[in-house]
Structure 1
């Protein structure tokens, strides 16, 4: 397995989807003045050099959340933004990440890269500091794992209770007329195709029905963190039954 290889493809105007050996998804969004790299995956290669082969613009990194499959190789870059609430996640999983130079990023911040503006929206749940980037000019949402991919993991150490996560989802739903496609952190789970905004509404229903007791989960057979899972429409929600309210 070549852990140092990266693959990219142009998925939107001036937007590259990049994947590594684990099929983690991260995105290079290129503006007129600079570019944003949203997440850095967990490959072992020279990611900075690879990104340089795709653009000659200055590149700034924005981390969607601090899980290992979204933040490795981040130390190759000088300017990095991450919501500081997720420093606790780095500590929980004891990752060898140097974060002292990370710039805090929070709800309502605007990243103006020239001809394109990306708005930061905090969606705490999967982690305390999970963020998404809204590109309302092109009707795109870059979501990391904040609203999941094929499966939304809410059973991990550091996840907020489902009731708190539901508040985040409702907040994002109020902005749903501003995006049509959701580019998540594991696009391979959807055969490389972004999910429509309706996925968000299915996920909200799944969370609501678990909280109310209308849906009862079955043991989740994947990964090392246990949990239960339910399906609703396009969404699969994985959760810790001890962390609902």
Structure 2
């Protein structure tokens, strides 16, 4: 069992080839995930960028790292600049290079700097925080398979929260990494102009029909939920459609184990 004591990051061993790297000192409660293969490692997202996640990675593996971006929101790409091999879905390449249209830097800085409960590095200053922008080394599409050596990961395009949002299916262990498509404790967001309520519901329906899953890992809040939540997702999809609620402005909809805001 790996034990790492760190002032900012919490490292939890899911199994000896899978680690969650969490930032519980921030209100977002963000999780990034390190998946080890025989030949290389995948880092799913790079966190807030408040502190340097690479110092944790270096303690966990010497394998070459490929970063897979679930989506290009600031709280998932904060440490992208620490890595050379970065992949993103084709529909968010422009966001990664140029930023998200109409999302002001002032809003991002307010969000990154509020409700912090752990000490942050001296170098961290919310007033000068700058989200990563840069060219990806690779572009992902739905159905792409990444073989990292005795471990294959499939890319599922799951838009709604953002146009190029993806989930990652790990066949070896039956894990599904859902990014911001599905998590608990706070609403799943699809009320911004860059979101799509209908796409989100279609994406939820897609993952609800997956089989042989052993655990679902969202990128926020509770670390790992039981796949039985997908039965409630199916119920939610039917209810939302039946009542014509899949549209902007219908508010927060609560279900057993999760909620959605349109």
The residue aligned with 2:160 is: 125
* 1:7-27 deviation per Cα after TM superposition (whole angstroms, max 9, x unaligned): 211012311110123221010
Shift of 1:207: 3.7
Matched, 1:231 2:237: no
From 34, 39, 60, give the equivalent of 1:54. Answer: 60
1:180–1:196 contact (8 Å) kept in structure 2 = yes
Shift of 1:227: 7.0
CA distance in 1, matches of 2:83, 2:35: 16
Shift of 1:233: 1.8
Matched, 1:114 2:117: no
The residue aligned with 2:86 is: 80
CA distance in 2, matches of 1:88, 1:169: 25
Shift of 1:214: 7.2
Matched, 1:178 2:221: no
* Closer, same or farther: CA 85–149 of 1 in aligned 2, 3 Å: farther
SS across alignment from 1:82: strand
* Unmatched 5+ stretches in structure 2: 1-6, 106-130
* Closer, same or farther: CA 214–85 of 1 in aligned 2, 3 Å: closer
Matched, 1:140 2:153: no
1:65–1:131 contact (8 Å) kept in structure 2 = yes
CA distance in 2, matches of 1:232, 1:88: 34
After superposing the two structures, state which structure 1 stretch, 88-97 or 228-237, moved more: 88-97
TM-score, length-scaled by structure 1: 0.81
CA distance in 1, matches of 2:38, 2:135: 29
SS across alignment from 1:25: strand
User: Displaced runs of 4+ in structure 1, greater than 6 A?
Assistant: none
Shift of 1:152: 1.5
Matched, 1:91 2:100: yes
CA distance in 2, matches of 1:202, 1:123: 18
TM-score, length-scaled by structure 2: 0.76
CA distance in 1, matches of 2:162, 2:194: 6
Matched, 1:158 2:194: yes
SS across alignment from 1:33: coil
The residue aligned with 2:229 is: 199
Shift of 1:195: 1.2
* Unmatched 5+ stretches in structure 1: 217-225, 240-245
CA distance in 1, matches of 2:250, 2:86: 32
1:166–1:208 contact (8 Å) kept in structure 2 = no
Shift of 1:76: 1.1
* Closer, same or farther: CA 73–198 of 1 in aligned 2, 3 Å: same
* Closer, same or farther: CA 117–24 of 1 in aligned 2, 3 Å: same
2:74–2:132 contact (8 Å) kept in structure 1 = no
